[in-house]
Amino acid sequence: MMPLNYAILKYFTKVEEACADDVINALKDTYGNFKALNKKDVITALMTAEANGLIEETRFELDNNNELKVYYHAHEEGAATINKYIKD
Amino acid sequence: MAAGSQKVSLQANIAYKKYRSNFLKKGIAIALFSGLTYGMYTALITMAMTKGVWADWYGDNKAKLSAFVIAYVIAALGNAINDTCSAVWAILYSIVKGKFGDFVRCVKSTPGRMILLAALLGGPIAGTAYVISLQMAGSIVVPISALCPAIAAILSRILFKQELNKRMMVGIAICVFASFLIGSTSISGSSASANTVVGIIIAVIAALGWGLEGCLAGYGSAMVDPQIGICIRQVTSGIANLFILVPFFSLLAGDIGLSVNLLTQAVTSGAAMPWFILSGLFTVITFTAWYAGNSMCGAGLGTACNGTYAFFGPLFCLLLLGIYGGMPGWSLPSVAWVGAVIMTFGIFVISMNPLDLLRKNKEKEEEVETYDAA
């Protein structure tokens, strides 16, 4: 089992794009009991990863509940850095 | 951003604008808070080292400790106790936040080990140099040690071939001028002493250590959660200080057993320990805020905001030790205050182009306008 932050970054090397809700859904089986696996903390983790150049924003939309969803993806260089430092 | 011609509603644009600006504002606030709390940590550790058994060691010296022991072993011990207290706070906080398991897992990973190496440079080496210099020359060393972003910029150029442009060189020149201004007030004054000059030189070692730490930890902390990163930093630093550095200095002083003897006296000093527990708490707060601020608003702006400790350090020393504690010698000459403000500005210039702040906001507005038009 890898640290939650690593798992979040690693997830982006395996999908085309994802938002915070997608990350939570994908990781809830393994990390469901982690306090930090909530929307607020995951959004902070995604925006931090973006500020560090590991992932980039692709689009945004409002869902049916009028909640903002921002999508990100790992570009080639970001994915290479993540895979270099975080092994499966 | 690959938005293409996607249509997004006005409502979505408003929500997106808020999402963006909230994050940047939060990052800047956290980074500024790190500068403020660094000033508090500086004042609290200095206060701790004036209480109980420390008052004798640095005052009457009834224990008959040698000048070497007082200058180096005692200062390293102060830093060791502070970092150990902060390590305990950091572990407790990680348990409360449910991140202790991840802390253990991160230590075994490459980014975790990079932070560990950075902690060895920043904790035992720079941290101890900072405390030694504070004891030798007083709060005048705070702005000098705050030169670390200037040193980090130069080291990054040499080690990692990173950019060192004209603006950064101008910023470094401003910092050097400011440090000269601050230094000159103590060196040329009537209170000039060899201790002050040596203290200022040792403060440069602290700046060098923290500059190197910034280079290394910046990379590692891009992937590690900031709270976990700080936990790794403080635990590494506490252990290395307590079990390597203090015994090493004691050995140099000719008696390795001295470290256990002095440590026992220090931790049983009821008047000093509450201040160390507080300074340890503020150490965790300031470094967590520094790492988190850097991650959230970029290392440039984050470091610039943190650099305000060049001003907050002497300010809180004056408030806590000078005014609250009634101790003389903590008010800096006005020239030194001017120097501290100039240095804060210089750090800002090195770390980022102030015009970029305006430019970034404009770019974001233009991006959203593009969405509107699509």
pLDDT tens-digit readout, B223-236: 888 889 989 989 99
Count up the domains in chain B and report the number: 1
| B367–A contact, CB cutoff 8 A | no
How far separated are the first and last CA of chain B, in Å rounded? 14
In a domain, B157, yes or no: yes
In a domain, B30, yes or no: no
B2 neighbourhood in chain A, CB within 8 Å: 58-59
In a domain, B59, yes or no: yes
Query: How many contacts does A have with B, using Cβ atoms within 8 A?
Result: 84
In a domain, B171, yes or no: yes
Nearest Cα to Cα of residue B97 among B219, B231, B233: B231
Nearest Cα to Cα of residue B332 among B348, B307, B311: B311
Q: Residue B144 sits in which domain range?
A: 43-352
Contact present, B214 and B290 (Cβ < 8 Å): no
In a domain, B150, yes or no: yes
In a domain, B1, yes or no: no
Question: Phi/psi of residue A57, each to 5°?
Answer: -75, 145
Per-10-residue mean pLDDT, chain B, length 374: 55 86 82 88 92 92 88 89 95 93 92 88 83 80 72 67 71 74 58 76 86 72 85 92 90 90 94 96 91 71 71 82 79 78 79 63 54 49
ipTM for the complex? 0.88
Could you tell me the domains of chain A?
4-85 (1.10.10.10)
Task: Give the global pTM.
Answer: 0.78
In a domain, B251, yes or no: yes
- How far apart are alpha carbons B309 and B110 in whole angstroms? 31
Choosing among A1, A2, A5, which should be mutated to test the B contact, i.e. which has the most B CBs within 10 A? A5
Task: Considering only the beta carbons, identify the residue of A4, A56, A57 that sits closest to B102.
Answer: A4
In a domain, B322, yes or no: yes
